[in-house]
Amino acid sequence: MHENTIGRPRQDPFDALVDVLAAANRYDLALGGIPIAFVIALVAASTFGVPVPYALAPAAVVGVGVIADVCYLNPPIDQGSTDGTDDQTAAD
């Protein structure tokens, strides 16, 4: 059973995927890269016979580096408050 939408044309799933990927920003891609680093580490551990802790250590370093970059070195900037007057109204 599927749901019929009324008044809205049905969008192709590939077009929906393209729209979602086009809307992704730097922070989404960076945070998506962390699990990819761990998957690559696990595949490398099983393929090359490296012990799992030795394979996961570089992936953990990559994860910590990405989080440090995204949160502290290049944090998201609020585009709405540029003049700082919003902070003063909350204090009054």
- Identify the pLDDT of residue 76: 82
The residues, ordered by sequence, that sit 6+ positions from 27 with a Cβ below 8 Å of its Cβ are: 70, 76
- Identify the pLDDT of residue 9: 67
- Identify the pLDDT of residue 45: 95
pLDDT digits (tens, 9 = 90+) for 11-42: 788 888 788 778 878 888 888 899 999 999 99
- Identify the pLDDT of residue 54: 95
The residues, ordered by sequence, that sit 6+ positions from 13 with a Cβ below 8 Å of its Cβ are: none
Cα 9-13-20 angle, rounded to 5 deg: 100
